[in-house]
């Protein structure tokens, strides 16, 4: 919905930036990957070794353009391709723009990269969406020129027990009992990534045991647990 609203933004309202933030393992990257595939948008994952030139080179490659040595020429080519295709640009791992998890200060190179993305957004008039950890939005607030352009803010939270049951039904090849799913939810504190890892391990164990389903008692048996706590 946020993507659709950004794409439908009136030309009279130029703010088309978005920020997606949340704790690690809450499904941000997976959700964005699905959205990018569905919309044929452009996705680039940030790197701690990025410079303004290497960032533009990675964006060029993602757009099917040949990188060159001159940053301005690459920016112009990126703007032209994005404006022509009318698709969004997603930048994952945007936390790499900052030198520390808690700090808000930017190096000169990082500031140039963010300003380059702002320029691409302004010139191509397409959404540019930054994805990162839970404090990304707070960090961006210190850059007023960027923050004022953010029209959509999405915050990913840990899943609830209902979400965990949906994951078990859609992502697990064996049947997990409701009490087992509740146990896994409590153990993983609603972290989707950890839930999926545990479910994948249960699938392997079930195939070894010849089970098509598994309940809480079986889980405790094979995991060496009793009452939800390790022996």
Could you give the CA distance from residue 143 to residue 163 in angstroms, rounded to a whole number?
Answer: 35
Both structure tokens of 157:
């939270």
* Residue 100, pLDDT score: 64
* Residue 222, pLDDT score: 80
SS3 19: strand
Predicted confidence band of residue 163 (pLDDT cuts 50, 70, 90) = very high
- Burial of 113-133, coded b for 16+ CB within 10 Å and e otherwise, reads bbebbbebbbebebbbbbbbb
Q: 121-124 contacts: CB < 8 A, separation 24 or more?
A: 121/16, 121/17, 121/89, 121/149, 122/14, 122/149, 123/79, 123/83, 124/78, 124/79, 124/80, 124/82, 124/83
Helices (H), the chain: 2-7, 28-39, 52-62, 71-85, 108-124, 136-140, 144-147, 161-171, 178-188, 192-209, 216-223
Please classify residue 35 by burial: count the beta carbons closer than 10 Å to its beta carbon, then call 0-12 exposed, 13-18 middle and 19+ buried: middle
Vertex 146 angle, CA 16 and 96, to 5°: 105
DSSP letter at 96? G
Q: At residue 211, does pLDDT exceed 60?
A: yes
Spell out the domains of the chain, with CATH numbers in brackets: 2-156 (3.40.50.300), 161-230 (1.10.8)
160 CB contacts (<8 Å, ≥6 apart)? 185, 190
Q: Please say whether the beta carbons of 60 and 78 come within 8 A.
A: yes
The structure's pTM equals 0.85
Q: Please say whether the beta carbons of 95 and 22 come within 8 A.
A: no
Phi-psi map region of 127: left, alpha, beta (phi>0 left; psi -120 to 50 alpha): beta
CA trace torsion 9, 10, 12, 15 (10° rounding): 0
Query: Do the strands 42-45 and 225-226 form a parallel or antiparallel pair, or are they unpaired?
Result: unpaired
Q: At residue 230, does pLDDT exceed 70?
A: no
pLDDT digits (tens, 9 = 90+) for 75-109: 999 999 999 999 899 999 999 998 766 567 788 99
pLDDT digits (tens, 9 = 90+) for 119-158: 999 999 999 999 999 999 999 988 888 899 999 999 999 9
């Amino acid at each position: 919905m946020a993507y659709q609203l950004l794409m439908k933004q009136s030309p009279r309202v130029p703010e088309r930036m978005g920020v997606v933030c949340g704790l690690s393992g809450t499904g941000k990257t997976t959700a964005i990957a699905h959205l990018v595939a569905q919309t044929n948008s452009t996705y680039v994952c940030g790197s701690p070794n990025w410079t303004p030139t290497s960032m533009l080179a990675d964006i060029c490659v993602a757009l099917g353009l040949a990188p060159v040595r001159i940053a301005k020429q690459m920016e112009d080519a990126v703007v032209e391709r994005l404006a022509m295709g009318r698709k969004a640009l997603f930048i994952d791992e945007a936390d790499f723009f900052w030198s520390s998890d808690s700090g808000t200060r930017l190096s000169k190179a990082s500031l140039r990269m963010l300003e380059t993305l702002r320029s691409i957004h302004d010139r191509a008039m397409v959404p540019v969406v930054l994805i990162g950890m839970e404090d990304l939005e707070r960090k961006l607030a210190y850059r007023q020129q960027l923050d004022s352009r953010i029209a959509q803010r999405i915050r990913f939270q840990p899943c609830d027990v209902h979400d965990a049951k949906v994951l078990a039904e859609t992502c697990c090849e064996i049947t997990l009992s409701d009490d087992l799913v509740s146990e896994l939810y409590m153990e993983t504190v609603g972290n989707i990534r950890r839930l999926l890892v545990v479910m994948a391990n249960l699938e392997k164990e079930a195939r070894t045991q010849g089970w098509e389903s598994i309940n809480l008692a079986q889980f405790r048996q094979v995991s060496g647990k009793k009452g939800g706590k390790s022996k």
